[in-house]
Amino acid sequence: MSLRGEVCVVTGACGFLGRKLVRLLLDEETLAEIRLLDRYEPPVEFLQGLKDCQRKTVVSVYEGDIRDSEFLRKACRGASMVFHVASVIDTHGNLEDSELYDINVKGTKLLLEACIQENVTSFIYTSSLEVMGPNSNGDPIINGNEDTKYNTFGLFTYGNTKKEAERISLKANGEVLQNGGLLATCTLRPMYIYGDGCRFLLYHMTRGIQNNDVLYRVSAPEALVNPVYIGNVVQAHLQAGRALKDPLKRTNVGGKFYYVCDDTPHMSYSDFNYAIMSSLGFSIQKKLAMPYTLLYLYCLFWEMLRFLLHPFIKIHVPITRKLLVLMNTPFSFSYQKAQRDLGYAPRYTWEEARTHTIEWLATKLPKEREKIRSK
């Protein structure tokens, strides 16, 4: 099923995932219009890069706040499909909880209301693996699926906001639109997303440079996870959009969530960083800087210090207890349900994904070295 002739809205269109999704939609489909919704004006080079794949599709820019209901109604007016990618990510506890809830939860609710008021028939929400966990105990999941039961207590505030936004999105499935039609929704839960443009990979590379080209080990080798390449994540979004448009699949897919991963080998987060960056001349610490229990206490010390000094000064902690647990918990999933229901299949192999990511990091490496030398 094609999306030919659709008017699609992509929220967070200027972000890591949003840019790739916009590009894929223009490459693969002949849309009537694609609307780039973001709180920031799209970079000129991004818009220029879309011209070679734009063909007859109208590309419109909607710059505004996702918490502005009138702005959202304007952006959704006449649209038929929304890819809701936008969210605020915070893994270090540096942002106020209220800001995360305002954007991730309230923004999603307002966007769904705009869809109902403006007769948008399909809504795909980009959720997160962190709606599932890991929990504060570090209980593992190995090759889990959508039916896996798990106690999700003690999530990051970010994970809780994504969980609530996902719940709201799925609950909206079947809502009656202003014109009498029905809204169909589904959500996607990608694993940790990597690829060209991933700021987390760039962060770890920069820290490695500061450590004489030795990558820090923050996760034990046995804490296996399965990251997913950005090119495969956007492919899953496209397949979800096609499935919601297909009358034969729409009823089955609507109201459901899907894990999105690929054939990237299972390894710890730290070993994944090394698998990507070893060819750029980086080595990695053989073991954690200190025993796990001491690391946990180290995190607790920084969190207590931040709490005590919060009224006077803002402290950015190097790592939190929750992040430490997340990075040291075996947590992996299968994409079989997405394959069965959405027709999803990874477009890029591990070797292709790794090569593309290395090539991008290689272009950043000289500049990062120069920045560090100049300090």
Catalytic residues: 158
- Contact by Cβ (8 Å): 57, 30: yes
For residues 83 and 89, give the distance between their C-alpha atoms in angstroms, rounded to a whole number.
18
Task: Give 18: exposed, middle or buried? Use CB within 10 Å, 0-12, 13-18, 19+.
Answer: buried
Of the CA atoms within 13 Å of residue 182, those in its CB half-sphere come to: 12
For residues 180 and 178, give the distance between their C-alpha atoms in angstroms, rounded to a whole number.
6
The backbone torsions φ and ψ at residue 321, rounded to the nearest 5 degrees and listed phi first, read -60, -40
Tokens 């699926």 sit at which residue?
145
Measured torsion, CA atoms of residues 222, 228, 230, 234, in degrees rounded to the nearest 10? -160
Please give the structure tokens belonging to residue 66.
Answer: 């996702």
